[in-house]
């Protein structure tokens, strides 16, 4: 399940059952924005209008109008799940998930490309501190780092080689 705060009062949440809800009054009331045939694990927005939601079955959805409607923009035939998505800008995002999969878009989700991953461990989170530097983490204490906007990743920590 993923939660995103657009502002102090504007919130979005995605979860199991393919539901995405939005509140514009600090969570007092919620409006359903989507119900898809997928269990969502995360959502993130680059700005109030553009973002992505990821989940099981290897699917990625994008809102067309600030989140009122969501369209499928990526689906893999292997049904490998994506656990987290990090938006770098309205055009650029990175999704991480099962088997060390790292997927990136540079055109607002129109196309997605598999990025080389230094690990086969499941990855559960990804965040960017700026347009170039990002961190991903997963099973076995694996921590990955990128310094070029998610194009290449290196392993910087692992439980297996910790002192």
Q: What is the pTM of this model?
A: 0.89
| Higher pLDDT, residue 29 or 66 | 29
Output the average pLDDT for the chain: 91
Quick check: 36 pLDDT over 90? Answer: no
Say what the pLDDT of residue 25 is: 95
Nearest to 80 by CA among 94, 61, 95, 59: 59
Say what the pLDDT of residue 33 is: 87
Torsion angle in degrees (nearest 10) through CA of 151, 156, 157, 158: 60
Record the tokens describing residue 65, joined without a space.
């109008």
How do residues 93-115 score in pLDDT, each as one tens digit?
999 999 999 999 999 999 999 99
E-state strands within 66-122: 70-75, 82-87, 93-97, 102-105, 113-114
């Amino acid at each position: 399940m993923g939660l995103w705060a657009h502002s102090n009062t504007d919130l979005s949440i995605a979860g199991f059952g393919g539901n995405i809800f939005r509140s514009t009054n600090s969570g007092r009331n919620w409006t359903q924005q989507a119900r898809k045939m997928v269990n969502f694990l995360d959502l993130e927005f680059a700005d109030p209008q553009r973002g992505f939601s990821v989940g099981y079955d290897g699917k990625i959805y994008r809102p067309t109008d600030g989140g009122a409607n969501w369209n499928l923009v990526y689906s893999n035939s292997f049904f490998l799940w994506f656990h987290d998505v990090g938006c770098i800008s309205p055009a650029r995002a990175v999704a991480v998930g099962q088997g060390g999969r790292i997927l990136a878009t540079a055109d607002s989700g129109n196309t997605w490309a598999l990025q080389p991953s230094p690990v086969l461990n499941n990855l559960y989170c990804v965040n960017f501190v700026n347009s170039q530097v990002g961190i991903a983490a997963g099973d076995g204490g694996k921590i990955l780092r990128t310094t070029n906007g998610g194009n290449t990743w290196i392993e910087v920590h692992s439980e297996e080689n910790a002192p």
